[in-house]
Amino acid sequence: MLTEARDRAVDVLCDPSLSHVVDLVAWPAGSGGVMVANAFGSALLSASGASVLRGRNPVASQDPLAFTPLAAELADPSPANLDNAYPWAYERLSSLFLASAAPDLVVVHTGKHYWPAQGGHLGEHGSLNVVQSRAPLLLSGAGVVARGLLPAAARVVDVAPTLAWLAGTPLASLGDMDGAALVDLAVAGAAQHVVGLLWDGCNSNSLYAMAASGELPNVARLLGSGCALQGGAIAEFPSVTLVNHTSALTGVGPGRHGIVNNAYFDRRSAVQVLTNNAATWHRWSEWLAPGVQTVFERVSGRCASVNEPVDNGADYSTFGLVRASGSSDGAKSMNSLLPDPLQDPLATQEHVVSNADYAWSSSVDAIGVEQVLGLWPAGSPGEWPRLMWWNTLLTDTGHHEGGPHSPIARDAMRDADRRLGVFVDHLDAIGAFDSTVFLLTSDHGSEGADPTCAGDWDEPLRDAGIEFRDEAYGFIYLGHS
């Protein structure tokens, strides 16, 4: 029944009339295999490679360095499937389909698909392709040799093991993660303190280029005494926020941590699970699969998680405070406590005035600065965290609003850099900078949509008489409505 419905859905979705919006579809093929298909061909992916069943393998190129540096990305915006790259396609897709809440069929948007009616923006992420999946990855500070930009790539699941290892957790106890510590980039044991910085939705090429041109002086300072991967860190699929915050901080993919999208369908309770929302972020641990540990649970010493839903085991946690407040709608009802972004000298006022999302994210990030400064009191080194994780929201807001490389995305990065500067200067002033190692990354990339590229796959699926739910626009649960 499911197989028959899926075959019919795949036929509809692989019709050439939808190829401008459907990059490819994927579904589990049994025995851990994954099928991928589009208008140009289909293939069975497995741990041992790909066998092409028709035409051309839709994920034939998996080069994680494709479309780097920035000039290469700008020269070919929204590359077509034939020219695109899908790093670790099998590993990422097969991880997703291990999860009990995984859909029966995944539809991957083309990079240029513009879908404002369903919540899409000028800048988007979520897809399997390399530009939407690529987060920056920069290491700097105690134990890191200044080597600049390196022609290499990592994965978002490598972040947790790297942070834990830098904070003194033995590598031997991290072997159960999907990711691995980036042991070639640093020396463990050299730092007293580890700081993880996540700039949500920040385009990797952009970050490196703006650091090089002097537009992000504090990132440039870190890169000047550290290194960064030109291919960045490739997000788990789908390349969306809560899936990858969780992957970054647990070191495992969605198949094991269980948070498969920002919204998904729980077949057992037959309800939609809405994870990535200001009203629900504080409930993150309710959706985590049993037995999955965060990096905070693997590091001995004081851990802090700032503005980050993923917080199990952290001694200090913003969302722990939200839960303690007893508010029923989480961070949403805390809005009255946020500082006025119009009074914030670190915020680009032009956007604060004209864009409500920019204003709100600026307020949240301003609270972030207050928290990180409070976590490192002058003269009390015993209180400084062994591991501090600091999530920045505004970068994602700017990238969605105008697309990567737009003025508003770049201003969001400049604001984030100024906030980072306040913190780094503070570490300098209290004498903590030289004993700290920094890791700067993101949860996914960002790609510009093409406003002329409209279209919808739900309508032709319905016209074909297929019963389905489409969660988060692309997760197809067959036989449910």
Q: Which residues bind Zn ion (CB under 5 A)?
A: 200-201, 241, 396, 443
> What is the C-alpha separation between 262 and 245, in angstroms, rounded?
11
Closest approach of Zn ion to the CB of residue 113, in Å: 18
* Alpha-carbon distances of 360 from 82, 279, 336, 413, rounded to whole Å: 39, 14, 11, 15
Pick between residue 6 and residue 155 the one whose CB is nearest to Zn ion. 155
Pick between residue 201 and residue 398 the one whose CB is nearest to Zn ion. 201
Q: Which residue is nearest to Zn ion (CB)?
A: 241
Pick between residue 293 and residue 446 the one whose CB is nearest to Zn ion. 446
Closest approach of Zn ion to the CB of residue 309, in Å: 11
Note if the bond before 151 is cis, omega within 30 degrees: no
Q: Which residues contact 260 (CB under 8 A, 6 or more apart)?
A: 96, 99, 101, 102, 103, 238, 243, 254, 475
Nearest to 365 by CA among 315, 326, 420: 420
Pick between residue 42 and residue 244 the one whose CB is nearest to Zn ion. 244
Pick between residue 230 and residue 241 the one whose CB is nearest to Zn ion. 241
Pick between residue 124 and residue 158 the one whose CB is nearest to Zn ion. 124
> For residue 26, how many other CB atoms are within 10 A of its CB?
27
Nearest to 87 by CA among 221, 235, 205: 235
Sheet holding 233-234, edge to edge: 134-135, 233-234, 154-155
Closest approach of Zn ion to the CB of residue 288, in Å: 18
Closest approach of Zn ion to the CB of residue 262, in Å: 9
Q: Tokens 């290194």 appear where?
A: 227
Closest approach of Zn ion to the CB of residue 125, in Å: 7
Q: How does 81-115 read in b/e, with b if 16+ C-beta sit within 10 Å?
A: beebbbbbbbbbbbbbbebebbbbbbbbbbbbbbb
Closest approach of Zn ion to the CB of residue 227, in Å: 24
